[in-house]
């Protein structure tokens, strides 16, 4: 559900004018160089742990945005061979940082360890610090202090804060500024969450503000639900690509100005805590990043099925009809969701006794659970202020709410007056865990959807419950504030000296959220902790669900922060049923893979107001390949379940039919994400970083390293022009259709209304199953392998893998009897084809009885004679059930090394998945 509709008109009306004024003022201030004159290094030493620690003294104080902090401590350490940390803070007083218990990481030394050094004169003006085995070198200039990070292997400068073009280091209590130079040809990605109209690659002079906000995703270049102050920088030097990552671990609001040749951070609090990741490949960067912030959460198998939701399923019979209509339309469906329609008066952890009677809901859940379907409901953080409400009573008794002037901070969300739980308080976490346990005993849900957790508030300022009127009245839009409120501007927290471009209009930072002078546990200000609210709620919710019967949690969170992917999936919020929003969804999805949140997708067909039939056709053809695939619509929109139009139903059967065949592949990518951070959905440059042509490509994407989706994203189109990087590509819907790209070519593909183009790259082995209406059933069907060689190649190899486990287990790892991992290999050499497997911990797969029924080998030279095949050393003639077929490929574009190439198919193999096998044959001559 969304409250952000209320901000759309405001944001769109004033965005352009206000931002231009903001940028003009910012540039004027920057050019006059009056914010600060920087710091000088006055002391430096090597610490026993191999780190470098120094003291910085302000050169000249001024009061623009407040006085400069007189003395800073900087700390530099090579934490790993590929990760360098640069931490700068007040040398005398502890400042706010992202809590180490929420995001575990090394702690810098205590401030008092080095504050009493003798201050040296005649410090070396330029010096370097290089870690053993590291490709990253830290350099500094002492006066005015600046630092740079270079790549040792090629001398490339990755970060350099020394320039006359921007301010020196500025460090005030509520204003921090630092910049870096960038080469013109650097391609940057990340810095979200926002909707980027120019695609995934950051576009110079597009505004970027990071501050978690409930404002619709249709607002472009605006701070949205998450805060991810990390970017990837990809450069191509002489045809050789190098990628690195930069994280500024800071939860305070910030503006980031990317000018094409520089990047400037302007932050309203906290510390400068930079982490540099050496790469050098995009996958390396995400691996190194998630090794710090936490590996992505393992998702249950069913989560990769299709999900259906709507705000406005008024009663249980409507939900039952939706499930039945999907079945009648023969469209796969794994998970049915409820927005807050199931609640009693919009209150968390309750059931509406009339529209969702408990006994009937339990009967419904028994029926869907018996066939493998799942059920998920929403929870908003705001707890209704209602003395007869048990959740509220227990919360008051345990003192779990955020405070303002000693009393729980009063806000308004869907139930009316609410208090917000303080998830930084250990008592609140225990209370939350208990409330989820109580609710699960009432309703055995299979996951939880945590929404409105930026946190969203329909009011602003200090509010009281009005006397003499009903609030909310029950009529009109539910997001209109009806509390009695007054603005809070009396503190420097509510009205900081520097105004970030909040909501795209420089809105007050407490606008429609918790007042930033409100107080969390242990005196922490909302001013500092605002953007980690959803993150802290996700951690508490994960703890609660993991404690229920020991099953693997599934959590969907709207608000995210650095590290959220360790606990939750994400959807991209309130989008619109437009062709533009369909295109934007790809860029946002790809960004979240870089952010370490690979389980991500957008509301298919748009959240509001109403998609056209054609758009919904095309959207399911994209959404069927989102990692998280869910149709979700607004209360005020017409119904848009996929069966509402027969044409959309046909497209859904086609696209989701393929998704369900690909579930083994998607689930294996889930495992790869969990162990290495590798995104499930990836930009093409992840697999083809040498080719600059794909650096800004945002209309196609990869699943894993080799499966490419090239959808139609424009109205009225029945063709799509797609970039094919060098090599051979095979159409997954028709394996005989082949495209051979020599240099990286754009190819125009037919794409009638019900067709989406999906291509598999050469040198791959893709495991698939036969699909089904529910993932539980699809999972038990026979496997097939698609082996792809370059068209006509006489010497080549292909690889693939498969991970299988008991997806109910909380952990996702290779354990005997509970999981199986298989590496598949294939080679062609001197006319001999070999395909074999290497199985680790085969017992789980053997116990399940899974078998490989079919192997299709693509791209073979046509030599006229049928092959002579052996399976595990036995000639095919003795295996009477195996059928051999040969089919000639068709070149849709280009030509391979042989004029005519074949697909050889083996069917009826019945090879146990958990057992090593070896298939060989010599092509006829």
Give the catalytic positions in this structure: 451, 454, 574
Cα angle, residue 829 at apex, residues 823 and 831 outer, rounded to 5°: 120
Bridge-based pairing state of the strands 851-861 and 783-788:
parallel
- Count CB-CB contacts under 10 A for residue 715: 12
- Count CB-CB contacts under 10 A for residue 724: 24
Is the CB of residue 566 less than 8 Å from the CB of residue 231? no
Beta bridge partners of 556: 449, 569
Q: Give the ranges where 127-168 is alpha helix by DSSP (H).
A: none
What tokens does 619 get? 């959207």
Calpha distance 292→286 (Å, rounded): 10
Calpha distance 760→803 (Å, rounded): 19
Q: What is the DSSP string of 543-589?
A: HHHHTSTTPPP-EEESS-BTTGGGT-EEE--S-BSSHHHHHHHHHHH
Place of tokens 């996929």: 642
Calpha distance 819→914 (Å, rounded): 10
Beta bridge partners of 55: 43, 73
**Burial status of residue 163 (CB atoms within 10 A of its CB: 0-12, 13-18, 19 or more):** middle
First to last CA, the chain: 64
- Give the SS3 label for residue 297: coil
**Burial status of residue 306 (CB atoms within 10 A of its CB: 0-12, 13-18, 19 or more):** buried
Q: Minimal CA–CA distance to 560: which of 534, 585, 586, 541?
A: 534
What tokens does 338 get? 């409820």
- Give the SS3 label for residue 355: coil
* Helices and strands in the chain: count of H runs, count of E runs: 14, 53
E strand residue ranges, 223-271: 228-237, 240-248, 254-258, 262-267
Cα angle, residue 496 at apex, residues 490 and 501 outer, rounded to 5°: 130
Calpha distance 413→175 (Å, rounded): 32
């Amino acid at each position: 559900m969304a409250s952000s509709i209320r901000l759309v008109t405001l944001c769109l009306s004033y965005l352009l004018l206000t931002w231009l004024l903001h940028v003009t003022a910012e540039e004027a201030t920057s050019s006059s160089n009056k914010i600060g004159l920087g710091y000088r290094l006055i002391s430096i030493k090597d610490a026993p742990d191999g780190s470098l620690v120094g003291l910085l003294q302000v050169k000249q104080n001024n009061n623009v945005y407040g006085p400069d902090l007189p003395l800073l401590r900087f700390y530099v350490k090579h934490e790993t061979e590929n990760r360098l940390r640069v931490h700068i803070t007040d040398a005398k007083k502890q400042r706010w940082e992202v809590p180490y218990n929420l995001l575990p990481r090394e702690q810098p030394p205590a401030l008092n360890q080095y504050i009493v050094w003798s201050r040296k004169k005649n410090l070396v003006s330029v010096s370097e610090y290089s870690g053993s085995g590291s490709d990253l070198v830290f350099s500094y200039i002492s006066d005015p202090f600046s630092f740079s990070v270079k790549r040792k292997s090629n001398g490339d400068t990755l970060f350099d804060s020394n320039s006359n073009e921007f301010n020196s280091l500025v460090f005030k209590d509520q204003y921090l500024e630092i910049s870096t130079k960038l080469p013109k040809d650097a391609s940057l990605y990340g810095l979200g969450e926002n909707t980027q109209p120019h695609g995934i690659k950051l576009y110079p002079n597009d505004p970027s503000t990071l501050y978690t906000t409930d404002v619709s995703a249709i607002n472009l270049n605006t701070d949205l639900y998450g805060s991810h102050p990390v970017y990837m920088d990809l450069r191509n030097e002489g045809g050789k690509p190098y990628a690195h990552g930069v994280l500024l671990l800071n939860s305070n609001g910030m503006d980031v100005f990317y000018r094409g040749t520089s990047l400037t951070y302007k932050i309203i609090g906290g510390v400068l805590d930079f982490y540099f990741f050496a790469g050098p490949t995009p996958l390396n960067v995400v691996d190194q990043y998630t090794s710090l912030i936490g590996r992505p959460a393992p998702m249950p198998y069913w989560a990769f099925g299709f999900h259906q939701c709507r705000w406005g399923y008024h009663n249980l019979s409507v939900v039952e009809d939706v499930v039945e209509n999907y079945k009648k339309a023969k469209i796969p469906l794994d998970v049915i969701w409820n927005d807050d329609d199931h609640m009693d008066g919009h209150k968390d952890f309750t059931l509406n006794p009339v529209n969702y009677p408990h006994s009937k809901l339990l009967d419904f859940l028994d029926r869907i659970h018996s066939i493998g379907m799942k059920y998920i409901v929403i929870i908003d953080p705001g707890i209704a202020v209602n003395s007869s409400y048990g959740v509220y009573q227990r919360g008051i008794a345990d003192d779990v709410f955020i405070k303002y002037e000693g009393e729980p901070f009063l806000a308004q969300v869907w139930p009316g007056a609410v208090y917000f739980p303080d998830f930084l308080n250990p008592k609140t976490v225990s209370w939350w865990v208990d409330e989820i346990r109580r609710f699960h005993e009432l309703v055995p849900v299979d996951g939880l959807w945590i929404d409105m957790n930026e946190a969203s508030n329909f009011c602003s300022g200090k509010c009281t419950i009005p006397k003499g009127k009903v609030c909310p009245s029950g009529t009109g839009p539910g997001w209109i504030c009806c509390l009695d409120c007054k603005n809070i501007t009396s503190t420097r927290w509510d009205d900081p000296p520097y105004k970030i471009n909040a909501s795209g209009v420089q809105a007050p930072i407490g606008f429609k959220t918790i007042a930033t002078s409100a107080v969390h546990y242990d005196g922490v200000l909302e001013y500092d902790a605002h953007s980690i609210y959803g993150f802290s709620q996700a951690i508490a919710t994960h703890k609660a669900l993991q404690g229920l019967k020991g099953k693997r949690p599934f959590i969907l969170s709207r608000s995210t922060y650095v590290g959220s992917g360790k606990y939750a999936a994400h959807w991209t919020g309130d989008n619109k049923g437009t062709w533009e929003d369909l295109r934007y969804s790809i860029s946002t999805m790809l960004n979240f893979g870089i952010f370490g949140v690979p389980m991500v997708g957008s509301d298919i067909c748009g959240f509001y107001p109403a998609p056209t039939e054609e758009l919904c056709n095309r959207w399911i053809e994209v959404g069927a390949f989102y990692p998280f695939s869910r149709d979700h619509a607004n209360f005020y929109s017409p119904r848009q379940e996929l069966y509402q139009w027969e044409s959309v139903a046909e497209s859904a059967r086609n696209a989701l039919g393929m998704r369900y065949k690909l579930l083994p592949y998607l689930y294996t990518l889930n495992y790869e994400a969990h162990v290495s951070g590798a995104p499930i959905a990836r930009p093409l440059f992840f697999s083809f970083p040498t080719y600059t042509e794909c650096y800004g490509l945002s209309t196609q994407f990869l699943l894993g390293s080799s499966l490419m989706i090239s959808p139609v994203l424009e109205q009225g189109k029945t063709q799509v022009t797609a970039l094919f990087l060098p090599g051979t590509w095979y159409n997954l819907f028709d394996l005989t259709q082949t495209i051979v790209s020599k240099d990286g070519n754009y190819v125009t593909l037919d794409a009638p209304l019900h067709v989406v183009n999906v291509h598999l790259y050469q040198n791959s082995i893709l495991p698939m199953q036969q699909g089904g209406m529910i993932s539980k059933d699809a999972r038990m069907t026979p496997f097939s392998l698609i082996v792809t060689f370059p068209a006509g190649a006489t010497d080549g190899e292909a690889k693939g893998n498969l991970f299988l486990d008991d997806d109910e287990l909380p952990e996702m790892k290779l354990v005997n009897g509970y999981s199986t991992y298989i590496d598949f290999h294939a080679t062609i050499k001197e006319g001999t084809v070999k395909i074999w497997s290497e199985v680790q911990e085969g017992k789980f797969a053997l116990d399940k009885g899974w078998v490989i029924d079919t192997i299709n080998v693509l791209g073979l030279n046509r030599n006229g004679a049928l092959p002579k095949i052996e399976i595990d050393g036995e000639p095919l003639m003795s295996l009477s059930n195996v059928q051999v077929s040969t089919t000639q490929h068709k070149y849709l574009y280009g030509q391979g090394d042989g004029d005519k190439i074949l697909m050889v198919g083996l069917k009826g193999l019945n090879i146990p998945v958990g057992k090593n096998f070896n298939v060989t044959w010599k092509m006829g001559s």
